[in-house]
Structure 1
Amino acid sequence: MSKLEDFLRDEGNVFPGKTYVEELLKHVFNDQRDFLFDVMFDIQRAHVIMLKEQQIIKPDEAILMLKGINKVAETDKNLLSYHPQYEDLFFMIEAKIGDEIGEELAGKIHIGRSRNDMGVAMYRLVLREHLLEFLKNTYRLSEVLLNQAERHTVTYITAYTHTQPAQPTTLAHYFLAIFDVLQRDLRRIWFAYETVNQSPLGAAALTTTGFPISRLRTCELLGFDKVIENSYDSIGGADYLLETSTALMTCMVNSGRWIQDFLMQVTREFGAFKVADPYVQVSSIMPQKRNPVSIEHSRSIASSAYGDALTAINMIHNTPFGDIVDTEDDLQPHLYRPSRMETV
């Protein structure tokens, strides 16, 4: 038997092939389970409520649908794993809801909705939460900088130009400069949040639906600020990812500069800053050392976050303007990581 025949026998002759499962589908499923599980049910509930209010489904049907959705939502997601019977988590959850309320009723939940607009809505809802967490941490850092500035209005330091001692100033002056840059970073993140927090629901696959749905109602129920007006844009537009990426990259570059300053200031030669004991590491052979590893990790994490955001931009570059996997499950975790980064 030839190597090709061996390969084909090992891979199988129906979708999905063994390599496709092991190297892609299992990883995608795990990411969907870890990041999208909860918001998937939020969208299901909002859609059913809207269908009932629009009189597209009957009230008693809506009640049964919501009971089934809520029952499946109680599943311990950590117990879920990829199964070749389902292409991804979306189809697995649909099947589980069907098991609870029957396939016909479960099918009605999908009236006027596509996996396309549901998928983009899930991505936006999850990214919205990560951005809010990032904003919270950035405001905490801002508060710390203000507190430290207030404590050090007469703490004199050397200011540098071209890495050479230049003029005397105060530590408060220096901290407030970082604070001001951080406030501009905050504005950029808020602008990105406004772009992210828009509803694509109702666009269906691309060109909306003939059912008399209410895009405004699902938008309201899910806490989006507004509906994306053009249905093609709802599915094809990926600039919400680009805007988030560029805002995160700018913030990480800005942060990396003062983190590098901090690392210099804690050296024995400079000795201007001292890292608290819980955040230094001792040497295995040199007991006199206080290694500022927390600052080192901060610098590397900022660089890693920048890299993840840049990866997202590169994944979108030169992709067709429409529904395409490049902007979907493979890309999304690259933005969750930097926006989830704890601000030090």
Structure 2
Amino acid sequence: MSDNSVFPHPVYKETVLAPLFEGAKAHYVDAVRAINRAHLVMLVDTGILKTDDAEKIAGALVEIDQQVDVSKLNYTGEFEDYFFLVESELKKRIGPDIAGMLHTARSRNDMDHTVFKIALKGRVDTLLDQCLALANAVHEKARAERDTLIVAYTHGQPAQPSTFGHYLAALLEVLLRDIERLTAARNALDHCPMGAAAITTSGFPIDRQQIAQLLGFSEPLRNSYGCIASVDYVTGLYSAIKLVFLHLGRVVQDLQFWSAFEVGQLYVPNSLVQISSIMPQKRNPVPIEHMRHLASVTCGRCDTIVNTMHNTPFTDMNDSEGEVQQAGYATFESGGRVLELLAALISDCSIRADQVAKNSDAACITVTELADTLVRRDELSFRQAHEIAAETSKSAIAQGQALGQSFEAFSAAFQNHVARASTLDQQAYAMAVSAQGFVAARTRYGGPAAEPMNEALSAYRTEIDAFNTAHQSTKTRELQAAHSLHNAFNALLRE
């Protein structure tokens, strides 16, 4: 059977190769440049390549950077991809023999996954910066609002008093665990595939440690098969990102609920409120809705990437490469918008104390402390105290009174259940059912009272600072690596 067809097929060219070429232009030019330069330095330092030949290759690489405007290139099908275009440009300048030496002891397999990791590292660094900025904003607000009372809800119903600071501290704890997961995913990106070549490394005396360091990685990824087959650096990363926005989405939903007219304990400032085109009275905190849908979109984008890896072979494959990698980058854009908007909203919002007091009184949310006080002061069982407190709150609600104004109903309920008077006088009763007293009594580890909150805020500050220090240290190491690569490559030009 004869086959006179010529690569690429026009449809394949337009549906696959051209989009991949555009993606390489948009995302991978700098990474490919760095890999070419680092690999060249390593080939010379290990004696695989002669200095004279390396000088010619280095000069040609510089010329390509100076003379070829990648942004203006259109895919013609003359070359399969961006890699072969660069190799073709080298051949034009120094001939095919010397140009071909640059590809000694490497493959597009190890190059591709190195490129993808470099591209992801920069994006994760930005996302971590945004997460840490949000953590700082939440910590600052929690510290400022540690005494600000709120109504805490369970199952969508008013439950107990707490403080805005205590609520935000819970958010901060989850966010810090998410930052820890993101940091672990970032660390998985920091192992370099270069030197794995196609699958099994090379018979040449390459120095994988050197090229990893020159490219800003902490170390080579040990197993060469895993360098080109493993995708956990992708699935682990997008799984960690999904959790960030799944968790933040729950908080965003609370903020939406709190800002509703019927609840009204959260005030969103005018700068974050849009008006209605027809209803003059409306204050629409639509940034909260935008955060909610953007968080959901971000989670969906993460699922797209992870699910693409399902039921694929454990080998080099296109399912984990260019087009899928590029599809994931929108995740960082939508997620970053959520983080920045949420930091702004948390910094600028406030709690409406009058509405909190109104809702607290209407729902009798302090009555748990009344039951606890009866256990401590009158030595009742909690179940008996619970029944007295429940009867008191039902009476208050039926009569439209605040719990603090229902001492007579309490006294009657106590007498009815215990057949004696309580040791609580009216002042002690008022303290037991006050929101301030409720919070002040919660002094145990993790509670909303002043002492445990101050301890917690101090611990969170230490944790945030530790994450930030480690993150900045990684970025500093990579900047130093880029400087070392610059100097080592330029030294070849001067040989």
Q: So what's the TM-score if we normalise by structure 2?
A: 0.65
Q: Check whether the contact 1:153–1:170 (CA below 8 A) recurs between aligned residues.
A: yes
Q: Which residue of 2 aligns with 1:5?
A: none
* Per-residue CA distance 1:147-191 (angstroms, 9 max, x = gap): 111211221110001110000011000111100000000000111
Equivalent position of 2:58 in the other structure: 66
- Residue 13 of structure 1 and its aligned partner are, at CA, apart by 4.1
Report the counterpart of residue 254 of structure 2 in structure 1.
261
Q: Which moved more, 1:35-44 or 1:284-293?
A: 284-293
1:106: how far off? 1.7
1:263: Cα distance to partner? 1.7
Bigger CA drift: 260-269 or 304-313? 260-269
Deviates more, 1:89-98 or 1:140-149: 89-98
Which stretch of structure 1 is more off in the superposition, 227-236 or 330-339? 330-339
**What is the rounded CA distance, in whole Å, between the counterparts of 1:21 and 1:275 in structure 2?**
52
In 2: Cα distance, 1:299 partner to 1:25 partner: 36
Query: Of the candidates 49, 53, 72, which is equivalent to residue 57 of structure 1?
Result: 49
Q: 1:145 to 1:104 in 2, by over 3 A?
A: same
Once the two structures are superposed, residues 310-334 of structure 1 have per-residue CA deviations (whole angstroms, 9 ceiling, x without a partner) of 1111111111111110110121023
2:36 counterpart residue number:
44
Given that 1:38 and 1:73 are in contact with CA atoms closer than 8 Å, whether structure 2 keeps it comes out as no
Contact persistence 1:65–1:106 (CA under 8 A)? yes
Displacement of 1:299:
1.4
Q: Which residue of 2 aligns with 1:306?
A: 299
Give the match for residue 167 of structure 1: 160
CA distance in 2, matches of 1:99, 1:288: 70
What is the distance in 2 between the residues matched to 1:310 and 1:45? 35
How far apart, in 1, do the equivalents of 2:240 and 2:287 lie? Answer: 24
For the pair 1:78 / 2:105, whether they are aligned, the reply is no
Give the match's secondary structure for 2:117.
helix
Matched, 1:17 2:9: yes
CA change 1:217–1:163 in 2 (3 A) is same
Q: CA deviation at 1:283?
A: 2.6
Which residue is 2:95 aligned to? 102
Query: What's the secondary structure of 2:323's corresponding residue?
Result: coil
CA distance in 1, matches of 2:89, 2:136: 47
Distance 1:232 1:280, change over 3 A: same
* d(CA) in 1 for partners of 2:157, 2:270: 30
Following superposition, the deviation at residue 27 of structure 1 comes to 1.8
Q: Which stretch of structure 1 is more off in the superposition, 69-78 or 103-112?
A: 69-78
Say which SS state the counterpart of residue 296 (structure 2) adopts: helix
Alpha carbon RMSD of aligned pairs, Å? 1.7
Alignment partners' CA distance in 1, 2:266 and 2:57:
60
Letter in structure 2 aligned against 1:168: P
1:114 alignment partner, one of 107, 110, 114: 107
Matched AA of 1:215: R
Moved more, 192-201 or 328-337: 328-337
CA distance in 1, matches of 2:312, 2:61: 35
Retained in 2: the 8 A contact 1:309–1:334? Answer: no
Q: Distance in 1 between matches of 2:12 and 2:148?
A: 61
Larger Rg: 2
In the TM superposition, residue 116 of structure 1 has moved relative to its aligned partner by: 0.5
**Which of 114, 123, 127 pairs up with 2:116?**
123
**Structure 1 residues 105, 293: CA separation in 2 closer, same or farther (over 3 Å shift)?**
farther
* Structure that is richer in helix per residue: 2
> What percent identity do the matched residue pairs reach?
37
Q: Please give the alpha-carbon distance, in whole angstroms, between the structure 1 residues aligned to 2:298 and 2:247.
A: 12
Deviation at 1:103, TM superposition (A): 2.6
Partner AA of 1:47 in structure 2: H
TM-score by length of 1: 0.92
Q: Name 1:207's counterpart in structure 2.
A: 200
> What SS is found at the alignment partner of 1:157?
strand
What displacement does 1:291 show? 2.5
Match of 2:130 in 1: 137
2:33 is paired with a residue of what secondary structure? helix
Count of matched residue positions in the alignment of Structure 1 and Structure 2: 333
State how far apart, in whole Å, the 1-side matches of 2:312 and 2:202 are: 26
Q: Give distance in 2, aligned partners of 1:141 and 1:155.
A: 20
Comparing 326-335 with 162-171, greater Cα deviation is found at 326-335
